Amino acid sequence: MTELIQKIEDKKVQVGVVGMGYVGLPLAVEIANSGIKVTGIDILSNKVNAINRGESYISDVPSAKVKENLAAGRLRAVTDFGVIKQLDAIIICVPTPLGKTKDPDLSMVVSAVERIAENQRPNQLVVLESTTYPGTTEELMLPMLEQNGYKVGKSVFLAFSPERVDPGNPTYNTSNTPKVIGGVTPQCLEVTMKLYRNFIQKVVPVSSSRAAEMVKLLENTFRSVNIGLVNEMALMCDRLKVDVWEVIEAAASKPFGFMPFQPGPGLGGHCIPIDPLYLSWKLKTLNYRARFIELASEINADMPQYVVNKVNDALNDFSKSVKNSRVLIIGVSYKKDIDDLRESPALDIIQLLQSRGAKVMYHDPYVPEIQFDNTALNSIALEDGLAKSDCAVIVTNHSSIDYKKVVDQAPVVLDTRNATRGMHSSKIIKL
């Protein structure tokens, strides 16, 4: 342990990041920015080759930074897990999706830990950042890393530090977002904190890896439940003929006891739609039903269907049916001003409309094409889409889109994001 800490303090520690996606690449670049040598490890050769050419495929990471660290010898990428033998610390940032039955799919974490164990040597630190259920680090990872005779806290160090990446956030990035760290032992916590303090401005220690795992799930369960509440409020306001956006804005004037959340067409991104269900699944194994989580998930998951029903009603007002109508989806990424399609409600809305016979088009300046299941579409020019459409649906409110033009040129506009706020037209239908 003393030798590893000395390497960290001298910035001679060699770090590897497994998984070069939305979490791993920004983290690897921040580590390199701090002057520490880092190796990105990914099974996808196209990502590895891009990094080694000095190219970033993540919008929040400038290619210039990749090139700078590459030229300085602080950053490289490989597909060969054999490099782990040379590393002092390995940080795992692989996806943890849900399976078709809504059970946690930790296959990529298991695979990464297996490869680490195959190439393990004494005095290495292993940190998991991938979101998972409480107990994963100790119950799943620890036995795999101790199977070769190593002892956690002595010859191998193990911790969990949940990723807090918010794609497209202009204020908070990997470096200035506080980082929660939970070690399996006090020694594990000490080593991990010393490493992360090199490239994270503020680290927040907790008593265990299990507590750190729970922190991440609380953060996103909080958002999921509150979004579920405001989505249900939108459904109620619709029946009461009240503008939910006006209600939220007025309620937000209260200087205490209220935090505004916004309704929308459904939840997207890798975290909020998925993470709470990890906690719900874990509690089921302990004979406990997480009722708030399940109800919020049900409400949020039903929002795309509600949007499609609103499209149906809007077209009926023009004596048209959804079948054979031309519907323009405006914005398909899961939130504004990014290119991330993960769990985007737009994909569900497109499929639901197509299943009713609608001819669906979309416009998104950040997403030139989409391919999922049996659907493949290319983004079309906004003007072309508006000219051809029977109805326009604002699903993602990108800042660069001219919403006055949308209202002026579309026959009818369903606005799920309040992008047309302040505009007055009989064409506009709110969520």
Predicted pLDDT at 289: 93
Last residue of a domain, one of 155, 179, 207: 207
Roughly how many angstroms between the first and final C-alpha of the chain, as a whole number? 57
Predicted pLDDT at 2: 85
Looking at the fold, whether 292 and 395 belong to one and the same domain comes out as yes
Q: Tell me, yes or no, whether 182 lies in a domain.
A: yes
Looking at the fold, whether 143 and 231 belong to one and the same domain comes out as no
Predicted pLDDT at 18: 98
Predicted pLDDT at 172: 95
Looking at the fold, whether 319 and 203 belong to one and the same domain comes out as no
Q: Tell me, yes or no, whether 215 lies in a domain.
A: no
Predicted pLDDT at 273: 78
pLDDT by 10s per residue, the chain, length 431: 889 999 999 999 999 999 999 999 999 999 999 999 999 999 999 999 999 999 999 989 999 999 999 999 999 999 999 999 999 999 999 999 887 677 889 999 999 999 999 999 999 999 999 999 999 999 999 999 999 899 999 999 999 999 999 988 999 999 999 999 999 999 999 999 999 999 999 999 999 999 999 999 999 999 999 999 999 999 999 999 999 999 999 999 999 999 999 999 998 887 777 888 888 999 999 999 999 999 999 999 999 999 999 999 999 998 899 999 999 999 999 999 999 999 999 999 999 999 999 999 999 999 999 998 888 999 999 999 999 999 999 999 999 999 999 999 999 999 999 999 999 999 999 98
Looking at the fold, whether 329 and 203 belong to one and the same domain comes out as no
Looking at the fold, whether 126 and 244 belong to one and the same domain comes out as no
Q: Tell me, yes or no, whether 354 lies in a domain.
A: yes
Looking at the fold, whether 377 and 281 belong to one and the same domain comes out as yes
Q: How many domains does the chain have?
A: 2
Q: Tell me, yes or no, whether 218 lies in a domain.
A: no
Last residue of a domain, one of 142, 173, 207: 207
CATH number at residue 266: 3.40.50.720
Looking at the fold, whether 55 and 170 belong to one and the same domain comes out as yes
Using the Cα atoms of residue 153, residue 181, residue 93 and residue 88 in order, give the sign of their dihedral.
negative
Catalytic site positions: 271
Q: Tell me, yes or no, whether 212 lies in a domain.
A: no
Looking at the fold, whether 166 and 276 belong to one and the same domain comes out as no
Looking at the fold, whether 230 and 89 belong to one and the same domain comes out as no
Q: Tell me, yes or no, whether 262 lies in a domain.
A: yes
Burial call 84-118: b when 16+ CB within 10 Å, e when fewer = beebbbbbbbbbbebeeeeebebebbeebbebbbe
Tokens found for residue 397? 């409110």
Last residue of a domain, one of 172, 207, 242: 207
The total of other beta-carbon atoms located within 10 Å of residue 41's CB is: 30
- Domain containing 366 equals 223-430
Q: Tell me, yes or no, whether 327 lies in a domain.
A: yes
Predicted pLDDT at 346: 97
Looking at the fold, whether 330 and 375 belong to one and the same domain comes out as yes
Looking at the fold, whether 22 and 171 belong to one and the same domain comes out as yes
Q: What is the pTM of this model?
A: 0.92
Predicted pLDDT at 239: 96
Looking at the fold, whether 156 and 91 belong to one and the same domain comes out as yes
Q: Tell me, yes or no, whether 57 lies in a domain.
A: yes
